[in-house]
Amino acid sequence: MDLQAFRLEVRDFVRTQLPEVVREKVRLGVELSRSEKREWEVRLRDKGWIAPSWPVKWGGPGWSPEQRTIFLEEMSINDAPEGNGLTFEMVGPILITYGTPEQQQRFLPRMVSLEEVWCQGYSEPNAGSDLASLSTRAVREGDHYIVNGSKIWTSNAHNSDWIFCLVRTDPQAKPQLGISALLIDMKLPGVSVQPIIGIHGWRYFNQVFFDNVKVPVDLRVGAENQGWTVAKGLLDHERLNLSRVGENRRRLARLQRVGETVHEAGVLLRDRPWFRRRYRELEVRLETLAATVMRYRRIAESGEGLGPDVGMLKLVGSRLVQDMENLTVDAIGPESLPYDKAAHSQWGPAWPQLDDPHPQGLPPRNEYAITAASRRFVSRGYTIAGGSSEVQHNLLAKQVLDL
């Protein structure tokens, strides 16, 4: 396929179909409502683009790695909301690879039709990056498991219908050998969700509790006590996506806009050597990361397994996010420091525009200032979530470099 023609098709779609209020809220870092996200997902579903990495057999577009990359780039640089990566880039591919035919027929069509939303139950209060030490128990009783325990930092659990959950089914086995993977209905008796509110006031993370939850054995993915193999497969997909190339392209575009609108001593930042140098360094790092991610996407497309070295993409991408957010705050300066919680979830005519006058004749406040500091603080968690950088370095040293 002509990739340039495909890029123009995606660009035209997002620019004509994405509601302007949603585009502006994403661009400025304001929280979207659930209905706003849903409306955009429905448009992608109706176009056949809701699951960009899926094969045609299961409702995906069957795109090449290059097409998927172009799609994600155009979505990001045109300020479309992030897709539901947990459902379509993690749980879905795992079921396509490891699920039974019955599980595939039961769940995949409902994912792609938006009937069911998924979250991932991995981390626990005492088992974060050291995932093998998880303690949520699943005791088999006939054709069911009885699940007790808790998961934490569970993204979007409050909006999810199902959770892909790691549980301990053999407490006597070595840590990695006593784990199984279960598909758990969030509406079952004994499942409860409590919010964890972020520094920007958003509810994204949650803690999920399981109190004698009865789960059918036929909802186990893979063999009993072999869930670690399945888990590693999901983590490979997660770390490929946590390279965050698309997100970083959006951040780089924001930085460019800041450089074109913020002055320092009467000179635009884009003409200041210190800003230009840091901006170009970030740009080079992003393009290097994008090329490397493409190489790994081609490996995955060929059917080869993604090895432990894929973890370096998460390391590089998450650090790049932080450095971009740090430069944004440094560039905007002190006016980025005041925190307005309401501004992170409310948007409208009251939001400052570039030509709004300040009191006492001061320069107008930059439009990105309201959310800049909180975005920087939230990004500190990017080198923790999905496996901390310290653990990732240890894994790469041991499993890749044989140190």
Domains of the chain, by residue range, sit at 3-83, 118-226, 242-400
Q: pLDDT digits over 76-91, tens only?
A: 889 999 888 889 988 9
| Token pair listed for 289 | 């990361």
CB 147, CB 213: distance < 8 Å: yes
The rounded distance, in Å, linking the Cα atoms of 260 and 331 is: 11
The rounded distance, in Å, linking the Cα atoms of 150 and 209 is: 4
pLDDT of residue 56: 95
Q: pLDDT digits over 112-144, tens only?
A: 999 999 999 999 998 877 788 899 999 999 999
Matching fold, domains 118-226 and 242-400:
no
- Closest-CA residue to 168 (of 226, 208, 215): 226
Q: pLDDT digits over 17-45, tens only?
A: 999 999 988 888 888 888 999 999 999 99
Q: State the DSSP code for 339.
A: -
pLDDT of residue 348: 53
The rounded distance, in Å, linking the Cα atoms of 18 and 75 is: 10
Instruction: Please indicate whether residue 101 or residue 83 has the higher confidence score (pLDDT).
Output: 101
pLDDT of residue 342: 62
| 210 φψ region: left (φ > 0), alpha (ψ -120 to 50), beta (else) | beta
CATH assignment of 242-400?
Answer: 1.20.140.10
CB 226, CB 169: distance < 8 Å: no
Bridge partners, residue 192, by sequence? 209
Q: Which of 66-70, 75-79, 245-249, 349-353 has the lowest mean pLDDT?
A: 349-353
The rounded distance, in Å, linking the Cα atoms of 286 and 112 is: 31
pLDDT of residue 364: 52
- Closest-CA residue to 22 (of 9, 7, 36): 36
| Token pair listed for 170 | 């053999």
| Token pair listed for 339 | 């925190």
pLDDT of residue 365: 66
Band of pLDDT at residue 175, cut at 50, 70 and 90: confident
pLDDT of residue 362: 45
The rounded distance, in Å, linking the Cα atoms of 73 and 315 is: 20
The superfamily CATH assigns to domain 118-226 is: Butyryl-CoA Dehydrogenase, subunit A, domain 2 (2.40.110.10)
Active site residues: 238
CA 2 to chain centre: 29
Q: State the DSSP code for 124.
A: B
Residue that is written with structure tokens 């869930």 in the block: 227
| 188 φψ region: left (φ > 0), alpha (ψ -120 to 50), beta (else) | beta
pLDDT of residue 360: 46
Q: What is the mean pLDDT of the chain?
A: 87
pLDDT of residue 357: 45
- Closest-CA residue to 95 (of 83, 110, 81): 110
